[in-house]
Structure 1
Amino acid sequence: MRDHHSLSLSSTYDPDLDALWARMQSEACGCSDTLIRDLFAVNICDHADFASALASLLGTKLTDRAMTEPTLTRLVAESLADEPAIIFSAAADILATFERDPACPDLTTPFLFFKGWQALQAHRIAHHLWHQGRRPLAYHLQSRVNERFGIDIHPGAQLGRRMSIDHGTGIVIGETTIVEDNVSLFQNVTLGGTGKKKGDRHPIIRHGAMIGAGAKVLGRLEIGAHARIGAASVVLEDIPPHATAVGNPARIIKLTPPE
């Protein structure tokens, strides 16, 4: 039975990292399949805590000829030490994915196998480097995420906690995008510009919104809190809170008052 309550979040979305890690280790280290046991061991069971495992995972996933796995792992670990909020964000994203995705059976699955979650955590490191002034390095991580996962998130984009990216393929998020907490994105979503402006030119996605597969949200507009954008919609104007919008151009078909 899927238990969504034993790892509840505080009002600041800080998960209990010790409880999360204990549960992940229990899931991974109890695996009886000999063909996959080493994968669980290397990525989860052999690590002392969630932060160490995350640094190792991203180092392994993003390495290339220019930057070795130990170098990348050390870079991620240093970034997590500099900004521990990234660790809590990563954990909160795992819980959000588990809660929202019926195809997610446990907590180890998004960590090991869901590229949307992995790309999001790599972005959080790139965003940290971006604001440290290490922009070529941040661009390198953006490029590696694009090459590795087919997901393109500019390191300048501001992404909130408890975010879920389902499937992930084809996601594009522009530099001045702001995504608040508890937002869900599906594959092939573009949060982009119109090509007509400089400065703040990408969307603002408010708390709890859901953007359906293939939707394009273009320009400095707002998707209101808890709004829902239908698959393949093209949004060029603000969508109010609690609205459902579909089509090209998107039109509001439902406005649900808040509870």
Structure 2
Amino acid sequence: MLTMAAACTDNSGPHLSSSFSKFIRCCRSSTPYTKNVKNCSKICPQDEIWSQIRQEAESDMKQDPLLSDLYRCAILSHSSLEGALSNYLALKLRTDYVSSDALAAAFHKALLEDAEIGRAVREDLAAVRERDPACLSYVHCFLNFKGFLACQAYRLAHKFWIDGRTAAALLIQSRVSEVFAVDIHPGAEIGSGLVIDHATGVVVGETAVIGDGVTILHNVTLGGTGKAGGDRHPKIGDGVLIGAGAKVLGNIVVRRNARIGAGAVVLKEVPEGATAVGNPARIVGSR
């Protein structure tokens, strides 16, 4: 069995300096859910979020030496967020038959091949830091928030899925379900700036689509009704909030900035800016 110390070696390599270690969004977003950048077309000179994570790790280590080994291995031994994320997820998701080294290499390759994943990771971090009052820092989110980690594992599994590596994608889905209690099918399409708060019991079906800046609380299901095949899961617009225990079922649309109340069972379209509550859900207001 591999130990944590085995993951302290940074496999990002010097070739990352021209692609990912300089990748950060340096322009301001026009969207309300994050102050960080979206649609930045140029490579920016510094990765500000990764720099902040490292600074927070060093500060936490000074305050509590108990964290020193974790922070050195998980954060400070890596030159890029991509290298750190690949290794940390690999340690979480390894099995007796699939080593952390093999997983880390596969994850890192996927991040190198698709810069959009790195962009989404940073927007997710920024979104959690802004919208979750329990989040103390970026490094706190990166290491401890299973909703964030489950989402990043999904993003890598989705890359495998669209590349035709369906068996590997489904393996990652299974391990994420076991480790984080979150079940997101790798075929789903999810935008950036996602917050999955608490995360336990979240289920997202294969043909679901989730827009940008969405917040999902625990025990939420975006599922099918069991009466249809093919495109059978919900489409969630930008800026939607889905409360704890809500079920959104079938190929229906929840339009942008809508709110779904806790425990609601949504079977019909929800208009833009509307609030839906109850079982079956009814519209009680709009904003």
How far is the alpha carbon of 1:13 from its aligned partner? 6.8
Selected match of 1:185 from 197, 201, 216: 216
Structure 1 residue 8: deviation in Å? Answer: 3.5
Matched residue type, 1:9? N
2:136 matches 1:109:
no
Counterpart for residue 102 of structure 2: 71
- Using the size of structure 2 for normalisation, the TM-score is 0.85
Question: Secondary structure at 2:119's aligned position in 1?
Answer: helix
The aligned counterpart of 2:7 is: none
TM (norm. structure 1) is 0.94
Which residue among 133, 138, 158 is the counterpart of 1:127? Answer: 158
Whether 2:112 is the aligned partner of 1:81: answer: yes
Q: Is the 8 A contact 1:13 1:161 kept in 2?
A: no
Residue of structure 1 equivalent to 2:286: 255
SS at match of 1:244: strand
- Match in the other structure for 1:152: 183
Aligned to 1:38: 69
**1:29 aligned onto 2:58:** yes
User: Of 12, 19, 27, which residue of structure 1 is paired with 2:39?
Assistant: 12
Cα shift at 1:29: 1.4
Any gaps of 5 or more consecutive residues in structure 2? Answer: 1-27, 29-33
Q: Distance between the aligned counterparts of 1:218 and 1:13, measured in 2?
A: 35
Q: Number of aligned pairs?
A: 251
The answer to whether structure 1 residue 100 and structure 2 residue 127 are counterparts is no
Given residue 29 of structure 1, which amino acid in structure 2 is its aligned partner?
E
SS in 1 for 2:283: strand
Cα distance change of structure 1 residues 134 and 45 upon mapping to structure 2, 3 Å threshold = same
Distance 2:72 2:252 in 1: 45
Answer with 25-34 or 227-236: which moved more: 25-34
Between the aligned partners of 2:209 and 2:265, the Cα distance in structure 1 is 18
1:233 aligns with 2:230: no
AA matched with 2:203: V
**In structure 2, what residue type is equivalent to 1:93?**
D
RMSD between superposed Cα atoms in Å: 1.5
Deviation at 1:88, TM superposition (A): 1.0
Whole-angstrom distance in 2 between the partners of 1:54 and 1:169: 21
Deviation at 1:66, TM superposition (A): 1.4
Unpaired segments ≥5 residues, structure 1: none
Contact residue 13 and residue 92 of structure 1 kept, 8 A: no
Question: Runs ≥4 in structure 1, deviation > 4 angstroms?
Answer: 13-17
Q: Distance in 2 between matches of 1:204 and 1:147?
A: 26
| Residue identity in the other structure for 2:171 | H
Shift of 1:11: 4.1
Corresponding residue for residue 174 of structure 1: 205
